[in-house]
Amino acid sequence: MKRSQAIALAATTCAAVPHAAGAQSAPKLRIGANPGESLSEGLLALAGGFFTRAGLDVELVTVTNGGAMTTGIVSGAIDAGPSNVASIAAAHVRGIQLNLFAPSIIVASSAPATTIVAVANDSPLRVAKDFNGKTFALSTLRDLQQAAVMTWLDGNGADAKSVSFIEIPNAEQLQALLAKRVDAAVLVEPFLGAARDQVRMIARPYNSLGSRLLTFGWIANNDWYAANPAAVQRLVAAIHATAVWANRNHDATAAIISEASKVPIETFKTMNRQQFFEGKLEPAMIQPIIDASARYGFLTRAFPAAEMFAPS
């Protein structure tokens, strides 16, 4: 499916979103986005016309990762965008309020896995205690992935403190695993789909934290959020409409993300897709991430998840 076809399909759903008057006079809203699926919701909303239908004039600001998103929003270079809940929590304990105002990515145990603990097919390691003294590859240290893996290890008869963790980019983890430089890797999509025939899944680490976790949520710059209550309401509506459409139109979203990222469209046929949460923010879907991060020293303290939520 070409991008033009994807946008046409989006427009069919977009017609159900009430049109807000005054879009032409609305101030330009700078939304952070990345063609990686976890940070792609703004890209999908713009390509599908959901921002326009909500009465928003949006400029996309490309970021490299969730950390860059958070930094851009704190500095005021970006007004709003989705970011990793663990990095939002880390900012919060440092006294930086980021106004978490809408959900983005949900990881559910009932959905196909998009993040797994993987070993090479010929590895003798099979259960958690086999990993004592072994080495894991992660994309980022002292973050949500590591907290989830350590929780899984300690909850299943292993000693997480005996395990070593090293940071290796997602694209290089399979090579490190097959070359025996690491004993296990936390593989994520689309790299998981591409490696599926060469690895064996040991666990879904996020399941150790809960059956439903909000791993990414939308945050806004404090000054912009306080000064633009009407735009915030329109943005929340556009985000929700995008989530509903994206979850039901994977071919269309694949075409949009493929064109922006240059990842071949065929890759999307082998991968499990991320799920955008269609409900409202729930502290219970975030609290286990905060508690585990604090338990392993990645946060200086635990705190109620609702403290991160934007003022209503």
Q: Which of 208, 232, 260 is the last residue of a domain?
A: 208
Res 58: pLDDT: 98
CB 163 within 8 A of CB 134: yes
Provide the domain count of the chain: 2
CB 254 within 8 A of CB 268: yes
Task: Specify which residues 216 forms β-bridges with.
Answer: 84
Task: Specify which residues 184 forms β-bridges with.
Answer: 136
Pairwise CA distance, residues 213 & 290, whole Å? 11
Q: Of 182, 168, 156, 141, which is closest to residue 296 (Cα–Cα)?
A: 141
Cα separations in angstroms, 13 against 56, 66, 133, 240, 249: 17, 28, 52, 12, 10
Pairwise CA distance, residues 265 & 286, whole Å? 32
Res 26: pLDDT: 65
Q: Same domain, yes or no, for 9 and 75?
A: yes
The H or E element spanning position 21 is none
Q: Same domain, yes or no, for 50 and 36?
A: yes
**Phi and psi torsions of 241, nearest 5°:** -65, -40
Q: Same domain, yes or no, for 52 and 38?
A: yes
Q: Same domain, yes or no, for 224 and 288?
A: yes
pLDDT in tens, 97-147: 899 999 999 999 999 999 999 999 999 999 999 999 999 999 989 999 999
**Phi and psi torsions of 291, nearest 5°:** -65, -45
**Predicted TM-score of the model (pTM):** 0.90
CB 186 within 8 A of CB 117: yes
Q: 172 is in which domain, residue-wise?
A: 115-208
Res 5: pLDDT: 53
Q: Same domain, yes or no, for 234 and 149?
A: no
Helix (H, G, I), strand (E, B) or coil at 5: helix
Sign of CA dihedral 303, 305, 309, 312: negative
Res 17: pLDDT: 46
Res 66: pLDDT: 86
Strand positions, DSSP E, 4-90: 28-33, 57-62, 80-84
Which CATH number is 140's domain given? Answer: 3.40.190.10
Q: Same domain, yes or no, for 10 and 97?
A: yes
Q: Around Cβ 60, how many Cβ atoms within 10 Å?
A: 20
Please report, as a single letter, which amino acid is at residue 150: M
Pairwise CA distance, residues 160 & 179, whole Å? 23
Res 25: pLDDT: 59
Res 269: pLDDT: 87
Tokens of 56: 């928003």
Q: Work out the burial of residue 217: count CB atoms within 10 Å of its CB; fewer than 13 is exposed, 13-18 middle, 19 or more buried.
A: buried
Q: Same domain, yes or no, for 87 and 221?
A: yes
Q: Same domain, yes or no, for 219 and 294?
A: yes
Pairwise CA distance, residues 306 & 271, whole Å? 33
Q: What is the DSSP letter of 126?
A: -
Cα separations in angstroms, 111 against 67, 132, 207, 224, 275: 26, 29, 11, 35, 8
Cis peptide before 103 (omega within 30 of 0): no
Q: Which of 208, 223, 253 is the last residue of a domain?
A: 208
Pairwise CA distance, residues 288 & 305, whole Å? 9
Q: Same domain, yes or no, for 187 and 223?
A: no
Q: Same domain, yes or no, for 136 and 268?
A: no
Angle value at C-alpha 63, between 217 and 309, nearest 5 degrees: 20
Residues ≥6 apart with Cβ < 8 Å to 168? 137, 138, 139, 176, 182, 185
Q: Work out the burial of residue 63: count CB atoms within 10 Å of its CB; fewer than 13 is exposed, 13-18 middle, 19 or more buried.
A: buried
Q: Same domain, yes or no, for 199 and 139?
A: yes
Q: Same domain, yes or no, for 10 and 94?
A: yes
Q: Which of 208, 237, 259 is the last residue of a domain?
A: 208
Stretches in the chain below the pLDDT threshold 70: 1-26
Res 202: pLDDT: 98
